[in-house]
A and B are shown apart, each in its own frame.
Chain A
Amino acid sequence: ETGVTQSPTHLIKTRGQQVTLRCSSQSGHNTVSWYQQALGQGPQFIFQYYREEENGRGNFPPRFSGLQFPNYSSELNVNALELDDSALYLCASSTGQNYGYTFGSGTRLTVV
C-alpha cells in the first residue's frame, strides 16, 4: 500500500507567477485535502475534494484552486503568487469518514 506522495518537494517561484502542486492519494482514499503551513504555525485548511468535487473550503482567496482526478489524485494551483504564499503545502488523504488523515511529505514553496 503506497502512502500519499507529493511533487515537487521544493520549488522557488517569482512573485506574480503561477504554480501547480501535485498529490497522489493513499490507495483506497477518495478524499483529498490541501493545507498551507507557514513557519511556526499549524497547518491551515485550504480546500477538500471528494469524488472530483470541491466539498469544503477554508479562508483562502479564489487564486487558490484545485482539481481532483478520477484516480483521486489532486492538484493545487496558485495564481498571482505573493511573498506570503511561501510555506509548506501539505496534501492529506482519507476515506472521508471520521478517521485520521494521512499526510504527504509536502512541497516547500518559496516565493521571491
Chain B
Amino acid sequence: RKEVEQDPGPFNVPEGATVAFNCTYSNSASQSFFWYRQDCRKEPKLLMSVYSSGNEDGRFTAQLNRASQYISLLIRDSKLSDSATYLCVVNVSGGGADGLTFGKGTHLIIQP
C-alpha cells in the first residue's frame, strides 16, 4: 500500500465549477499535513496546511479526517489559473526527520 494515495486524474472542470480532491495516508502517526500546488516543470509551492478543524483560504478549503486517514481539498469558483497538479503531502515526524511524503499528485485542468 502506498503511503499517500491520490487519484491522478486528470480532472477536467469548467471554469466557475467547484472541484474536490481527496487523498488517503497510511501512517496513523503522521503529524502534519499539507496541500502543495505544482505547475508544469516548476517547483511545488505550499497551498495550505491542513488541520482537523478544517481551514479555509479564500476559495480553497482543506479538511483532515484523522480517524479515516484522509485529507480533502475543495476549490470553489474555479479559475483558469487553478490548472495545475495538486500534491497531497504528509509529514510523519514532528521535526521532519522522515521528510515530507508526497502523493503522486492530482492533475486539474480548468476549461473555459
A-to-B contact residues, CB < 8 Å: 31, 33, 35, 40-48, 50, 55-56, 58, 90, 92, 94, 96-106
Of chain B, the residue at the smallest CB distance from A58 is B99
Residues of B within 8 A of A35 (CB): 99-100, 102
Q: List 29 A-B contacts (CB under 8 A).
A: A33-B99, A33-B100, A35-B99, A35-B102, A40-B104, A42-B87, A42-B104, A42-B105, A43-B87, A45-B98, A48-B96, A50-B97, A55-B95, A56-B96, A56-B97, A56-B98, A58-B98, A58-B99, A90-B44, A94-B96, A96-B95, A98-B31, A98-B94, A99-B49, A100-B34, A100-B46, A102-B46, A104-B43, A106-B43
Residues of B within 8 Å of A58, CB to CB, are: 98-99
* Bound CA span A102–B93, Å: 18
Query: Size of chain B's interface in residues, with CB distance under 8 A?
Result: 26
State A98–B44 Cα separation when bound (angstroms).
17
Q: What residues of B have a CB within 8 angstroms of the CB of A56 in the complex?
A: 93, 95-99
Q: Would you call B32 an interface residue if the criterion is a C-beta within 8 Å of the partner chain's C-beta atoms?
A: yes
The number of residue pairs between A and B whose CB atoms lie closer than 8 Å in the complex comes to 70
- Which of A33, A55, A103, A105 has the largest count of B CB atoms less than 10 A from its CB? A103
Binding site for A on B (CB under 8 A): 4, 31-32, 34, 36, 42-46, 49, 87, 91, 93-105
Task: State whether B43 touches A48 (Cβ < 8 A).
Answer: no
Q: What are the residues of chain A within 8 A of B96 when measuring CB–CB? A: 31, 33, 48, 56, 94, 96, 98, 101
Instruction: Report if A98-B32 is in contact (Cβ < 8 Å); known contacts: A33-B96, A33-B99, A33-B100.
Output: yes
* Contacts known (A31-B96, A55-B95, A98-B31); A42 close to B43, Cβ less than 8 A: no
| Contact A48-B97, Cβ < 8 Å, known A41-B104, A42-B103, A43-B102 | yes
User: Which residues of B are found within 8 Å of A100, using beta-carbon distances?
Assistant: 34, 36, 46, 49
Cα–Cα distance between A47 and B94 once the two chains are bound (Å): 15
Are B95's CB and A45's CB within 8 A?
no
